């Protein structure tokens, strides 16, 4: 459960923004979208390899 204490005189919009940031960090929405469709383990593995190659390519370009 996410608790966002509102300080005296604090704008409600700012407290709502803090709540949204905390909620995003929990990853609930991301997990929900991920579970909407089944992805075969082989496809997950393939995506993981593609992501690792992409990140490695970015790091190599950053070093140059």
What's the longest Cα–Cα distance across the chain? 53
Q: Does the predicted TM-score (pTM) go above 0.75?
A: no
Q: What is the pLDDT of residue 49?
A: 98
- CB within 8 Å of 19: residues ≥ 6 apart: 2, 4
What is the domain partition of the chain in residue ranges? 12-63
Q: Are 34 and 47 in contact (CB under 8 A)?
A: no
% of the chain surpassing 90 pLDDT: 86
What is the C-alpha separation between 10 and 7, in angstroms, rounded?
Answer: 5
Q: What is the pLDDT of residue 50?
A: 98
């Amino acid at each position: 459960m996410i608790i966002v204490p509102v300080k005296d005189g604090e704008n409600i919009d700012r407290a709502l923004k803090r709540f949204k940031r905390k909620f995003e960090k929990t990853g609930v929405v991301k997990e929900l979208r991920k579970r909407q469709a089944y992805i075969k383990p082989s496809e997950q593995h393939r995506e993981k390899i593609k992501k690792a190659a992409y990140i490695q390519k970015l790091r190599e370009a950053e070093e140059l």
